[in-house]
Copies of this chain bind each other. A is one copy, B any other.
Amino acid sequence: MIRLLLVDDEHLIRGAVAALLALEPDIDVVAQVADGPAALSAARALRPDVAVLDLEMPGMDGVSLAEALRAELPDTRVVIVTRHARPGVLRRALSAGVLGFVPKTAQAQSLADVVRQAHAGRRYVDPGLATEALLVGECPLTPRELDVLREARDGAAVSAIARKLNLSAGTVRNYLSSAMSKLDAETRFEAARRAWELGWL
């Protein structure tokens, strides 16, 4: 019997996925929680065999949670489920020791299979996603360029970004400019969107 911890902030979806996995005779959903901290404490208390994490969560993102889980409970296998399967995120997840990576567009049946694979210590990554991730090279952006792009994501002005990062406005513009040229973008918003889609933000 595979003892499973389910983490997803959307209650309805979490319950639905639990119902789906409960149909499998060899899977036992021992706990469902809504956020990272709750997941950590539940994992500590219950020591599940497999943790299934939603990637998109307010507060802590799924990869960070996977890292924290792996650090504290190396025996718990981690499977990540995500809506938008961004290549760079897959890369980070794999190096964080995540065994399974499934987009929400995958067949419903496949989740249980991936859980079993992970439980057996085998890696499973959605094939289409894997090839896409191979086509996208390493991230060419420096840490600071990523910082300014993160702030630029939701339309902040240069002055606002500069204030938040304690930089001069000119420096912010320089970072944005170099990021834009690296990403072949016309505006910083396009650059930020591109970087996000590639999973670099």
Chain A residues engaging chain B, CB cutoff 8 angstroms: 9-20, 22-23, 81, 83, 102-111, 154-157, 160, 186-190, 192-193
Contact = CB atoms under 8 A, between A and B. Distances in A.
A121 to B, nearest CB: 23
Nearest to A8: B104
Number of identical protomers: 2
A111 B10 CA distance: 13
A105 B12 contact: yes
A13 B106 CA distance: 9
Contacts of A193: 154-155
A97 to B, nearest CB: 23
Contacts of A108: 11-12, 14-16, 18-19
A157 B16 contact: no
8 contacts: A11-B105, A13-B13, A15-B20, A15-B108, A15-B109, A16-B17, A155-B192, A157-B186
Contacts of A156: 187, 190
Nearest to A15: B108
A106 B157 contact: no
B190 A10 contact: no
B154 A102 contact: no
A114 to B, nearest CB: 10
Nearest to A187: B155
A100 to B, nearest CB: 13
A10 B83 contact: yes
A16 B110 CA distance: 12
B106 A12 contact: yes
Contacts of A14: 108
